[in-house]
Structure 1
Amino acid sequence: MNQRLISLATLAALVVLVALPLLFILLQAIFPHFSAGSLQGAFSGMAPLFSDPQLPAMFGGTLHIAAGVALLSAIIGLPLGVARGLFTLPCPRLWDLLFLIPFLTPPYIAALSWMLVLQTNGYLAQLLGFDLNALLFSKTGIVLVMTLNIFPVVYFAVSRSLLASGQRLALVARVHGAGPWRAFYHVTLPMLSPSLAAGMLLAFTLAIEEYGVPAALGTRSGVVMLTVGIEKKLADWPIDLPGASMLSLTLIAIALCAWWLQSKLTGGRDVTSVTGKPTANSGASLGVAVIPVVAAMAFIGFLAVVVPGLSMAVTGVMGTLSGGLTLENVTPAHYAALFAQQGDALTALGTSLSLAFASALLTGVVGLLAAWLVVVQRIRGRGAIDALSLMPAALPGIVVGVGLILLWNRTFWPVSPYNTWVILLLSYCCLLLPWPVRYIGSALRQLGGNLEPAARVHGATAMQALRFIVLPLVFPAMLAAMLMVFAIASRELVTSLLLAPAGTQTVAVFIWRQFEQGSVGQGMAMATLTLVVGLGLMLSALAIMQRGTERASAG
């Protein structure tokens, strides 16, 4: 398989996954009657959109919250990632597992868990006699809750970058007289800046397309975001497909501006590790500083994982919320009900895990090829490939679902994935493709430009160089991204609700329907069960990641 064939296959995948749904969303935004098969009244939907009095509040709220989440994610994720990547920590893989757990917890579940803890008469009030209701239902509260779910993107981007490049160059700077802070500022920080920028960009784009948290907390705080506005246009009668599509294009414009800013800040300053060979992370000793560092990491883990996790687990064994935190209110009935519903719960779990695994595999392969063509091969048209790989991060799940319906629910297709499980797989891959592209792209920028040409000079084809040279070197970053894809896909809600065919349930759909029916305890029990199963799979994957890193370091 030569480079041209790889390029065509990658472009075809991006067209099917991203370009065609985006095109149909664009056509719907331009032609209000497009869903009915008419191209009349072009751009007539713009006037109602700009006259909407809620538009400035939605636009400003989206920017403020997303910028706050990206900045706070960097403030938390950068020092934690540096500690993990540069220093010797006790139980290092345990920290990776701990900070993966937020991705296994759906944002709307996390928001509900925090509501149960902090609101008036919540768990905190029952235990300690006070609540943080005012903080929770505010713009600051929304930023904090979203950040505790999203900051791991920066943590993993920074830590994987440092684990791949090692600290060889910083040690050289130390030998030549640089102090530790000077070596970090002038050597280590520039090397991880592409990964830091990529992580912050992902945090920003994840925040602007998040629906569950602002929907749960924003109503009582008066905070509105574009995603909530889109959902209302699609849920309230009459359905406003043109308005929803126009708001979606606004989100795309915001994401592209963030991408442009990132490229301006880091695009001309790629820094490599000279040889590109990942080094064993011997890890500098922290000495007595290990105690405050571990305490800080444990505190963040407590807030991001333990508190919402305990809230979820406790609610899953409570007979009623009004019964409070008493032994008399503890019951296994919710878990018993999961296994007594004619297999619906376990079938939903199996469906979600299968789709998540397939999504991680497909996005990993397409992301590797796209990043390789853009960063290493620098083919003609790489800007279009890079832009297509980023755009899904700016598309709310509900809009991706609408785009897929508009695209595939057409009579002219001889074969269509519509109304099958394949449509769910396409939606997950479309939404989550930016993860592998950005993580692998950041890793490729550190490899240097001499390894693959050297292999080509010695007779290797482009595919052989990709398989035997590039892939082993970027495998840790690729697997880390695929783990996040798996975690997010396993609990994706919006497109699952919109696209799941009759008779097919995912975990998120099952939990959502339990909440709609007022069975909060049973929904939380299912969420807890899913989290435990996902953790078991994550432990296995992290073990594979560790062995892959050790083999690459020894090679």
Structure 2
Amino acid sequence: MNSRLMPLLTVALLVVLVALPLLFILLQALFPHLAQGSLAGAFSPIPALLRDPQLPALLSGTLKIGLTVALLSALVGIPLGTLRGLFDLPLARLWDLVMLIPFLTPPYIAALSWMLALQHNGYLYQLIGFDLNDLLFSHNGIALVMTLNIFPVVYFAVSRSLLASGQHLAIVARVHGASALRAFWHVTLPMMLPALAAGVLLSFTLAIEEYGVPAALGSRAGVVMLTVGIEERLADWPIDLPGSSLLSMLLVLVALAAYTLQRKLVGNKEVTSITGKPALNKGAQLGHWRWPALVLFSLVAFVVVIMPMSSMLLSALLSTLSGGIRLENMTLRHFSALFAQHGDALDALSTSLGLAFAAALITGVIGFLAAWLVVVRKIRGAVFIDGLSLLPAVLPGVVVGVGLILLWNQPFWPVTPYNSWPILLLSYCCLLLPWPVRYVGSALKQLGGNLEPAARVHGASQFQALRYIVLPLVFPSLLAAMLMVFAIGSRELVTSLLLAPAGMQTVSVFIWRQFEQGSVGQGMAMATIAITTGLVLMLSALALMQRGERS
């Protein structure tokens, strides 16, 4: 492949996947009659939005939920991550797996599971005689449900940063007379601050872009968020494209403001090991704190995994919810019904798996090329490629969905993917592109800059060096990222709800509609199958990552 063709192709793909949808959101927000091919009434949607009585509630609800979830995620994730990173924690790999399960579980499934467990006459009431209905359907309840799904990003950011940097400098500080607290505050904490800030930022952005939890619990709690407001303007007649576009841009601005604040606070600092690989860090002995630490992790595992997963599985096994938790009310018919209802469930499953597999391949290729051009080639315009490839990390799914609708529903396109399965594929690729870029970029930074030039000196073309030298060395990280994309794409909800054409369902849409129709058992049965599949794939990704680290 020509050395100039790869950068041009990569940039073109990034423009189509990321830049154009965002551009059309901005244009629609500024020009309300853009869909009719007119630029009349420019900027008129802005005063209309500012006069909207719902706007203060939407914005304040989003910010309150985002900040609360970020704070709670830090309060839970920092102590757990510090214990995992600094100490020789028993069953450490098991706790890592436990912390992955909430991240893998679709938030709307977790919300529905908690609702079935804690509402009036729910499973908790049936077992012990009281419920937490008032807490669940409140601002704090919604924030807690989100936190239980999101805090693992802070846990992994903190623990991996501490495992990578080790305790060598903190030990030196102790040798020179510093107390354990002083060494942690002045040495360990500053070293992990960039990773901690990134984890807290990610928890904030994940919270403000969440649609499923506020949609499931918000109406009864009186909590509204921008994501729900955007979806309502697209779903309710008359469709308000300018209003949904402006709210989408407002949501992007909130996410970018959080990102800018994080960069201002921690700058461009990074903590890396001398070798480029995590330092060997067995961790300090816990001593008499060993059992309290195990009890703490066990309690967290019970709350964030066992309780919601038990509620989900129990709902899938109960013949009727009104029949209560009784042995005679247990059945497997909801699982068998998935494969006996005119193929709808099988079609949804095969559609999700096919789209997720295609998204993994496409994002893998684009992410590999983008990371290589930025990290290794350092071509002119690398900043533009890097920015476009990582921008979807701060783009909520609902914003991507709105952008794709506006982009591809224009009359001037001779051929358009709108209202067909490729539009879903485009949305998955846009949302999940940062995964391969980040994984491959980190792997490329560990390779050094001499392998590819050495191959070129010995007669290999640039494409041959890329294919036979660079790709095999980063392939474990690339494959792990693609498995992550597959696992997350197979259960994506919000863009699937917005963009799925008539007669087409994905797993997430199937589950959502089963709940809307009152078929809770079948919805939870499908959720059980989807989460089990995703967990197997995540374990595969972890195994590949660990093998890549050892090689």
| 1:414-429 pair list within 5 angstroms | 415-429=415-429
Q: Distance in 2 between matches of 1:84 and 1:357?
A: 33
Task: Provide closer, same or farther for how the CA distance between residues 454 and 148 of structure 1 changes in structure 2, counting only shifts above 3 A.
Answer: same
Alignment partners' CA distance in 1, 2:535 and 2:58: 36
Relative distance call for 1:288 and 1:190 in structure 2 (3 A) is: same
Provide structure 2 residue ranges, at least 5 long, that are not aligned to the other structure. none
CA–CA separation in structure 1 for the residues paired with 2:407 and 2:291: 55
Whole-angstrom CA distance in 1 between matches of 2:226 and 2:472:
38
Please list, as runs of the form range in 1=range in 2, the aligned pairs for 1:144-543 lying within 5 A after superposition.
144-171=144-171, 179-364=179-364, 366-367=366-367, 370=370, 381=381, 383-410=383-410, 412-413=412-413, 415-437=415-437, 443=442, 452-453=448-449, 484-543=484-543
1:80-112 deviation per Cα after TM superposition (whole angstroms, max 9, x unaligned): 233333433333332232222223322121111
Could you list the per-position Cα deviations for residues 492-512 of structure 1 after superposition, in whole angstroms to 9, with x for gaps in the alignment?
Answer: 112112322455421111112
CA distance 1:475–1:543, change in 2 (3 Å):
closer
Output the amino acid matched with 2:230.
I
Amino acid at match of 1:160: R
- 3-state secondary structure, aligned to 1:278: coil
Which residue number corresponds to residue 48 of structure 2? 48
Counterparts of 1:144 and 1:474, CA distance in 2: 38
1:214-246 CA-to-partner distances (Å, cap 9, x unmatched) read: 122221221111111111111211110100000
Deviation at 1:190, TM superposition (A): 3.2
What residue ranges of structure 1 are gaps of 5+ in the alignment?
Answer: none
Distance 1:103 1:396 in 2: 16
Name the amino acid aligned to 1:147. Answer: T
SS of 1:322 mapped into structure 2:
helix
Q: Deviations over 1:363-402 (max 9, x none)?
A: 4554455556667776655554454345434444333223
Counterpart amino acid of residue 190 in structure 1: P
> How far, CA to CA, are the matches of 2:130 and 2:109 in structure 1?
23
- Give per-residue Cα distances to partners, 1:20-55, cap 9 Å, x unaligned: 111111111111111222221111111221101111
CA contact (8 A) 1:117 1:124 kept: yes
Q: Write the deviation string for residues 335-390 of structure 1: whole angstroms up to 9, x where unpaired.
A: 12112124332332233233334434544554455556667776655554454345
Q: Aligned partners of 1:473, 1:286: CA distance in 2, in Å?
A: 36
Deviates more, 1:41-50 or 1:283-292: 283-292
C-alpha separation between the residues in 2 aligned to 1:152 and 1:219?
A: 27
Secondary structure of 1:340's partner?
coil
Following superposition, the deviation at residue 74 of structure 1 comes to 2.1
Normalising by structure 2, we get a TM-score of: 0.88
Aligned counterparts of 1:157 and 1:369: Cα–Cα separation in 2 = 26
Superimposed CA distance per residue, residues 45-70 of structure 1 (whole angstroms, 9 cap, x where no aligned partner)? 11221101111111111111111112
In 1: Cα distance, 2:363 partner to 2:282 partner: 32
Secondary structure of the corresponding residue to residue 492 of structure 2: coil
Distance in 2 (CA, whole Å) between partners of 1:542 and 1:529 is 20
Greater length-normalized contact order (CA 8 Å, ≥ 6 residues apart): 1
CA contact (8 A) 1:359 1:486 kept: yes
Q: Which moved more, 1:403-412 or 1:363-372?
A: 363-372
CA distance in 2, matches of 1:74, 1:361: 34
Structure 1 SS opposite 2:53: coil
Change in 2 beyond 3 A, CA 1:191/1:422? farther
Match for residue 78 of structure 1?
Answer: 78
Query: Which region of structure 1 is more displaced relative to structure 2, 83-92 or 206-215?
Result: 83-92
Following the alignment from structure 1 to structure 2, what is the Cα–Cα distance between the partners of residues 75 and 373?
Answer: 38
Letter in 1 for 2:528: T
Distance in 1, matches of 2:274 and 2:87, equals 22
AA in 2 matched with 1:145: V
- Matching residue of 2:141: 141
2:448 aligned counterpart, secondary structure: helix
Preserved contact between residue 205 and residue 255 of structure 2 (Cα < 8 Å): yes
Q: Once the 2 structures are TM-superposed, how far is the Cα of residue 249 of structure 1 from its aligned partner? A: 0.6
Matching residue's letter, 2:297: M
Query: Do the aligned residues in 1 keep the contact of 2:452 with 2:470 (CA within 8 Å)?
Result: no
CA distance in 1, matches of 2:469, 2:178: 37
Q: Is the 8 A contact 2:165 2:271 kept in 1?
A: no
Q: Residue 25 of structure 1 aligns to which amino acid in structure 2?
A: I
Deviation at residue 549 of structure 1 after TM alignment: 2.1
Contact 2:480–2:544 under 8 Å retained in 1:
no
Give the secondary structure class of the aligned counterpart of 2:340. Answer: coil
Partner deviation per Cα, 1:259-281 (whole Å, 9 max, x = no partner): 11122122343333233233344
Structure 1 pair 84/363, CA: closer, same or farther in 2 (3 Å)?
A: farther
> Structure 2: how far apart are the matches of 1:275 and 1:470?
20
TM normalised by structure 1 equals 0.88
SS of the aligned residue for 2:20 comes to helix
Letter in 1 for 2:407: L
Distance in 2 (alpha carbons) for counterparts of 1:440 and 1:52:
44
- Residue 549 of structure 2 aligns to a residue whose secondary structure is helix
Q: CA, structure 1 residues 494+268, in 2 after alignment: closer, same or farther (shift >3 Å)?
A: closer
Q: CA contact under 8 A between 1:111 and 1:216: conserved in structure 2?
A: yes
Paired with 1:375 and 1:230, the residues of 2 have a C-alpha distance of 37
Counterparts of 1:383 and 1:23, CA distance in 2: 19
Q: Tell me, what secondary structure is at the counterpart of 2:18?
A: helix
Comparing 296-305 with 359-368, which one deviates more in the overlay? 359-368
Shift of 1:7: 4.4
Cα 1:352–1:103 shift into 2, 3 Å = farther
Q: What amino acid is aligned across from residue 159 of structure 1 in structure 2? A: S
Secondary structure of 1:356's counterpart equals: helix
Identity in percent? 68
CA shift in 2, pair 1:367/1:282, >3 Å: farther
Distance 1:368 1:64 in 2: 37
Q: Any idea what SS the aligned residue of 2:538 has?
A: helix
**What is the RMSD computed on CA atoms of the aligned residues?**
3.2
CA distance in 2, matches of 1:534, 1:245: 33
What code does the residue aligned with 2:430 have?
Answer: C
Structure 2 CA distance for aligned equivalents of residues 367 and 283 of structure 1: 34
